[in-house]
Structure 1
Amino acid sequence: MKRAMGGKTAGSRRDVWLLISIVILCLYALFLIYPLFMVLRNAVVSESGAFTLSHFVKFFSKRYYISTMANSFALSVSVTAFSLLLGLPLAYFYNLYEIKGARVLQIFIILCSMSAPFVGAYSWILLLGRNGVITNLFKNLLGVTIPSIYGFHGIVLVLCSQMFPLVFLYVSGALRNVDNTLLEASENMGCSGAKRFFTVVIPLCAPSVIAAMLMVFMRAFADFGTPMFIGEGYRTFPVELYNSFISETGGDTHFAAALAVIAIVITALVFLIQRYVNNRFQFTMSALHPIERRKAKGLHNVLIHAFCYLVVLFGYAPQLYVIYTSFQNTSGKIFVQGYSLNSYREALAQLQNAIPNTFLIGGVALLFIVATSVLVAYLVVRRNNFVNRFIDTLSMIPYVIPGAVIGIAMIISFNKKPLVLVGTAAIMIIALVIRRNAYTIRSSVAILQQIPLSVEEAASSLGSSKLKTFFRVTMPMMGNGIISGALLSWIAIITELATGILLYNYRTTTLTIEIFTAVLRGNYGIAAAMACILTVMTTISLLLFMKISKNKDITF
């Protein structure tokens, strides 16, 4: 009888997790699968509702649209290549050699990647624009006209200054797992310096290098703000997608949907190719003897320090100059002599709704992200079946497709009854949760895989229910992974632009949208003050994370 009762109890406990799987799957079906299906539907129907492929024919038959795709690919490949050139050696030097001020250096490296890309574009305009400080310096002192920041080269410069930290973080994480004896053995065999870097270190870090390449490529391909600001004649796919949907003469929803489908197909193919290549290079390492930093000697030491500090200066100098200009006086839209807090006063006056909205919308989104991510992570690791693997795959889809696609999908799907969300804060929260929960899911899965199942079995043997064990034992042990993922999700939320710019209205505007608007209007003093407020928010978030998690080094 006890056995029968025990079997009933165990069955009911299993049903709880089955119910959680079904609920999460239904939420994804409503807020991801259905919107993407509506995008596909709109892409293959005409205004009259008849089936047509004319929108795709229009795209592939006109050189103008094909060139935007080619431009985006050329841009993404270039940004990926230059980010590797900076990030790989930076991670190598940082992890293998003693560098003075390494702790501070790492903080600034991370901060380089935490500002919104369009803020970086605005920063570089102040430095290298037609009236930029560096532009004028070269022109007045040397009589040299340096190349314009606008166009392809400028976009590559801006994105590289913010993407190389991603390569640094991924490769640093891989180097934590490299056994030092492998490096010592290679050095004893006469393989040192650059030869060791290319023949030993990079092959050992291959999976992380490939993952970093995918991340940089996809972020560069999906970036909207930077080409919008400084692209001028250089057209990219995300900007074309936005312009097709939001047009002064009335957007073409069906053609924009076709562009969104093309974007989904391209990003999915890139992601699948990366997964295939990554699986070919996949292997596990256990660092019984972690790498110990050693001090370089002579000129070698000077060059290492010079490289590291110059790269970080390249990445963070634009933000430093924005901070400087935020204190300059302005007359209308022009900077004038003298310093004051006037830009901050005007910025704060304009941000009376934006700052609270940023914290409210972002905070609510983050709560939902943490709540759903830990459940998904547990289902994926501890309840591994087809349904839960499918949920895990669904969570990665918004991670790799452009934010504008998610925004367009939400508008098409929820702008009429029975569920009208367009124009509300709810649609922005849902879009942020769908788009940014992958960070927390991945970090939660990684930490849960390191927690022995025997810990939960011990709690269960003492009479604790499965849910009670999860909330009181498993979740506290997952703390560092949850906090790490939540930090990345939070930074991505407060710097989000591509989705928010399509979904906001005057009541739900956020800090990043206000900065974007101020720059477009040429209010550079106010934009600088707003950008500094955003920088302070991201810096405080990073420092709080490091304080709470007690992590000395942050890696992916």
Structure 2
Amino acid sequence: MEQRNWKIIKFLAVITIVFTILFWIRTTIKNEFSRMERENLLKLANSISMTDSEKIKENYQDLEYYVYDFEGNYEESLEGLNNTIKNLPDFSYGEEHALYEEIYISPKIITINNKKYFVVFSPIVKDYEVVAIMVQLHNAEDTIKLLNTIDIMFLIALTIFVIGFAIGIFSTDPVTTYAIIITFVVVLVFIVYPLYEAVKLTFTRTGTFTFNVWKTILTEKNYLKAFFNSILLGTLTATVSTIIGFLFAFLVTRTSIKGKKFISTMATLPVISPPFSLTLSIILLFGSNGLITKQLLKMNWDIYGLDGLVIAQTMGMFPIAYLTMVGVLESIDSTLEEAAMNLGASRWKIFSTITLPLSLPGLLSSWLLVFTNSVADFANPLMLGGKFNVLSVTAYLEVTGMNRLDRGAALSLLLLLPTLTAFYLQRYVVNRKSYVTVTGKPSGRIVEIVSPKTKIFLTTLVYIIVFFLIGLYSTIFMGCFVKNWGIDYTFTTANIKEALQRGKDALVDTTILASVAMPIAGIFSMIVAFLFVRKKFPGKKILQGLVLLPFSIPGTLIGISYVIAFNKPPIILVGTAAIIVINYIIRELPVGVEGGVATLKQIDPSIEEAAQNLGANPQTVFSTIILPLIRPAFISSLSYTFVRSMTAVSAVVFLISAKWYHITMQIYNFSENLRFGLASVLSSVLIIIILTVFGLLRILVKKSEYLEKTIVQ
């Protein structure tokens, strides 16, 4: 009890001292700023009072002022003066100063027409005599905002110290408590707050609550057409991608074909390549001056539009369905198929009544993931959309072309409607039935249910797609050495030199920002995963939902919401490298957390408990036991963050600046200007960098001594 009382006394004493110091700093800063503002206002007021009345309106357009002289009736001259100014308690005092040729600034801030002003009394002197008094109204909004920001920063600093010091003194596990609080703060500041600001802007465009923005969005034909186009594109892409992904996964997991590693590698390659790369190669092959359509087949087929988008998105997104279906098909117990075969069922009957129904959760998940990615996709429609407008590009043009942030935010929020609907529909269908097949020890064998002829047919289809992918990637590399694609196919190396010279800064910026985000995102995601799996605390389920939220939010919405939220006090980040890095971390956080959670659930908690019983503190347990054991998930999180950061488009397009540019936008600019050779060079360099880093990180995973297994016979 005495020790607790001593802690309370110590806590109160330290808080009092810190409060006094912070309050002194806050007061000093506000007083110094007010002094500087007063000096600047005096100089400005003096300059205005010495300016001719005609030039005042020309040079100081935002200035409100009143002039009353003493040549006519004094009371009549005052009639035009605003009553708010007349009622100032120091009005007579201000007049007196002006009569003595002194400028007076009232300490009172007045409000006229919902705007706040500083009131300045200044004399108008003619022939060494005061002939009139000018009352100047200077905008005080910015000054008040800054002073309020200083107060807010004081309260934030004091709150952080109080909470942190209280945890350090009273908590039995301060490190974990700090981690929980920091996670909550990060989620609230960089996920909840920007989304709130985006939603708020759509209802308060003019400063008052209104539905006008949403009324415009939901009634104009162009916006509605873009919305339905997005759904159509997402539906077609998701359906085709899921079929192809299932085909690849089925052959790799349920048949004995050769070359499985090669097929699997090709099926995952688009995941780690830039989003513009496949689109660029499709334009080079099938565009208006495409090698195949124009040069070889002499066709006038226009790749720009829905058909081109479906092809580009399918080639880039079917790996999502493949990666999902591989795990699902591997987990299906083949004894059911074997039993059906022994009872005389045909191969098609077995597939249609057992394999396919048991794959339904994976198929729906695959469809949902691809649909969400397709609807939110920005890169492909930007380059291949043509006259086929989609919502993500329309939102981008509203913000960058029309400077209508409110409409851009509303359009991006509208993208949530189809994705959330698809998500809950998938959950509803899956939860209606049970798909459990592993109730004991599963069979180690897989019964091949496809006939030899069917296997040959399916294998042929897969290899056609694989070779098409190889052709697309080969086209990118070939484009580096063509003088002018579509016109002059002369071999040249000039593109490499020019592209690297013009794209060097963007390439360096992108690599630096991705390299900074990579370790932060990796470590933070593992800490959050550890909290979710191993710790119990209030608000855990809410925090889990908020952490996973960015995965379902379109990138355009995140980019627009960041511009809205962090372009004003108290947190101004727009135009800096920090906002891009934060965007990378937050966007890829859900994937890292999910990987960490899945790995931690496979590790027995007794290992950590044994270390704690031997005296290890929580940070030692995490750094020496947990982190090494979840090394594969950690490295995967690093890899994914780096790849996605290097190839980001949809959110980062709103956050780049003249100082910090992104290589994907440089590739897009080259493509828009028909400099396909330069775009091909930068795409190739980007692919090489990503594959190099990806390969190095994969080597690190294999070297993990903690998870290596020995095969015994």
When the two structures are superposed, what TM-score results if normalisation uses the length of structure 1? 0.90
1:223 counterpart = 2:381? no
Cα deviation for residue 407 of structure 1 reads: 0.8
Match of 1:66 among 210, 218, 224: 224
Q: Which has the higher strand share?
A: 2
Change beyond 3 A, Cα 1:279–1:542: farther
Change beyond 3 A, Cα 1:274–1:296: closer
Change beyond 3 A, Cα 1:158–1:194: farther
1:23-66 per-position Cα deviation (integer Å, ceiling 9, x unaligned): 1111111111111111011100133x011000000011112211
1:123 counterpart = 2:311? no
Change beyond 3 A, Cα 1:315–1:493: same
* Letter in structure 1 aligned against 2:635: I
Q: Please name the residue that 2:662 is paired with.
A: 510
Q: Gaps (5+ residues) in structure 2?
A: 5-166, 704-713
1:357 counterpart = 2:515? no
Q: Could you tell me how far apart the structure 1 residues matched to 2:538 and 2:463 are?
A: 48
Give the count of matched residue pairs: 537
1:220-263 per-position Cα deviation (integer Å, ceiling 9, x unaligned): 0001121111211111000111011111xx41122222223323
Q: Could you tell me how far apart the structure 1 residues matched to 2:627 and 2:169 are?
A: 21
Q: Please name the residue that 1:257 is paired with.
A: 409
Match of 1:172 among 326, 332, 345: 326
Match of 1:462 among 591, 601, 614: 614
Query: Is this contact kept in 2: 1:109–1:315, CA < 8 A?
Result: no
Q: Please name the residue that 1:57 is paired with.
A: 215
Q: Please name the residue that 1:18 is paired with.
A: 177
1:376 counterpart = 2:376? no
Q: Could you tell me how far apart the structure 2 residues matched to 1:364 and 1:257 are?
A: 28
Q: Please name the residue that 2:588 is paired with.
A: 436
Change beyond 3 A, Cα 1:316–1:337: closer
Q: Please name the residue that 1:554 is paired with.
A: none
Query: Is this contact kept in 2: 1:98–1:295, CA < 8 A?
Result: no
Greater RCO structure (CA 8 Å; 6+ sep):
1
Cα deviation for residue 300 of structure 1 reads: 4.0
Stretch of structure 1 that moved more, 307-316 or 334-343: 334-343
> What secondary structure, in the 3-state scheme, does the structure 2 residue paired with 1:464 have?
coil
* Letter in structure 2 aligned against 1:156: V
Cα deviation for residue 283 of structure 1 reads: 5.1
Q: Please name the residue that 1:539 is paired with.
A: 691
1:136 counterpart = 2:294? yes
Cα deviation for residue 9 of structure 1 reads: 11
Q: Please name the residue that 2:78 is paired with.
A: none
> What secondary structure, in the 3-state scheme, does the structure 1 residue paired with 2:504 have?
coil
Query: Is this contact kept in 2: 1:178–1:290, CA < 8 A?
Result: no
Q: Gaps (5+ residues) in structure 1?
A: 552-556
> What secondary structure, in the 3-state scheme, does the structure 1 residue paired with 2:483 have?
strand
Counting only pairs closer than 5 Å after superposition, residues 156-555 of structure 1 correspond to structure 2 as 156-247=310-401, 250-281=402-433, 286=438, 288-292=442-446, 298-330=452-484, 336-550=488-702
Stretch of structure 1 that moved more, 102-111 or 334-343: 334-343
> What secondary structure, in the 3-state scheme, does the structure 2 residue paired with 1:31 have?
helix
* Letter in structure 2 aligned against 1:339: F
> What secondary structure, in the 3-state scheme, does the structure 2 residue paired with 1:259 have?
helix
Q: Could you tell me how far apart the structure 2 residues matched to 1:435 and 1:66 are?
A: 28
1:455-490 per-position Cα deviation (integer Å, ceiling 9, x unaligned): 212222222222221221111111112222332222
Change beyond 3 A, Cα 1:209–1:386: farther
Tell me the percent identity.
Answer: 27
* Letter in structure 2 aligned against 1:29: L
* Letter in structure 2 aligned against 1:387: G
Q: Could you tell me how far apart the structure 2 residues matched to 1:130 and 1:529 are?
A: 21
Cα deviation for residue 185 of structure 1 reads: 2.0
> What secondary structure, in the 3-state scheme, does the structure 1 residue paired with 2:515 have?
helix
> What secondary structure, in the 3-state scheme, does the structure 2 residue paired with 1:329 have?
strand
Cα deviation for residue 281 of structure 1 reads: 4.9
> What secondary structure, in the 3-state scheme, does the structure 2 residue paired with 1:352 have?
helix
Q: Could you tell me how far apart the structure 1 residues matched to 2:522 and 2:588 are?
A: 11
* Letter in structure 2 aligned against 1:21: I
Q: Could you tell me how far apart the structure 1 residues matched to 2:322 and 2:679 are?
A: 29
Cα deviation for residue 291 of structure 1 reads: 4.8
Q: Could you tell me how far apart the structure 1 residues matched to 2:347 and 2:291 are?
A: 39
Cα deviation for residue 113 of structure 1 reads: 2.8
Stretch of structure 1 that moved more, 82-91 or 216-225: 82-91
Cα deviation for residue 298 of structure 1 reads: 5.0
Change beyond 3 A, Cα 1:426–1:297: same
Q: Could you tell me how far apart the structure 2 residues matched to 1:335 and 1:133 are?
A: 10
> What secondary structure, in the 3-state scheme, does the structure 1 residue paired with 2:403 have?
coil
* Letter in structure 2 aligned against 1:55: V
Q: Please name the residue that 1:91 is paired with.
A: 249
Stretch of structure 1 that moved more, 515-524 or 145-154: 145-154
Cα deviation for residue 539 of structure 1 reads: 2.4
Cα deviation for residue 491 of structure 1 reads: 1.6
Cα deviation for residue 493 of structure 1 reads: 1.4
1:37 counterpart = 2:37? no
Change beyond 3 A, Cα 1:193–1:316: farther
* Letter in structure 2 aligned against 1:271: F
Stretch of structure 1 that moved more, 314-323 or 223-232: 314-323
Q: Could you tell me how far apart the structure 1 residues matched to 2:434 and 2:492 are?
A: 55
Cα deviation for residue 180 of structure 1 reads: 3.0
Q: Could you tell me how far apart the structure 1 residues matched to 2:430 and 2:623 are?
A: 34
When the two structures are superposed, what TM-score results if normalisation uses the length of structure 2? 0.71
* Letter in structure 2 aligned against 1:351: G
1:28 counterpart = 2:180? no
* RMSD of aligned residue pairs (Cα, Å): 2.6
Cα deviation for residue 395 of structure 1 reads: 1.8
1:276-303 per-position Cα deviation (integer Å, ceiling 9, x unaligned): 4444456556573345486987544432
Change beyond 3 A, Cα 1:341–1:392: farther
Query: Is this contact kept in 2: 1:207–1:281, CA < 8 A?
Result: no
Query: Is this contact kept in 2: 1:110–1:165, CA < 8 A?
Result: yes
1:179-230 per-position Cα deviation (integer Å, ceiling 9, x unaligned): 3323322322334534333322233233322221111001100011211112
Match of 2:237 among 68, 76, 79: 79
Stretch of structure 1 that moved more, 145-154 or 220-229: 145-154
> What secondary structure, in the 3-state scheme, does the structure 1 residue paired with 2:488 have?
strand
Q: Could you tell me how far apart the structure 2 residues matched to 1:9 and 1:200 are?
A: 57
* Letter in structure 2 aligned against 1:235: N
Stretch of structure 1 that moved more, 222-231 or 453-462: 453-462
Q: Please name the residue that 2:129 is paired with.
A: none
Q: Please name the residue that 2:158 is paired with.
A: none
> What secondary structure, in the 3-state scheme, does the structure 2 residue paired with 1:176 have?
helix
Query: Is this contact kept in 1: 2:180–2:531, CA < 8 A?
Result: yes
Stretch of structure 1 that moved more, 53-62 or 267-276: 267-276
Stretch of structure 1 that moved more, 512-521 or 172-181: 172-181
Cα deviation for residue 390 of structure 1 reads: 1.7
Change beyond 3 A, Cα 1:97–1:283: closer
Q: Could you tell me how far apart the structure 2 residues matched to 1:102 and 1:72 are?
A: 35
Q: Could you tell me how far apart the structure 2 residues matched to 1:272 and 1:489 are?
A: 27
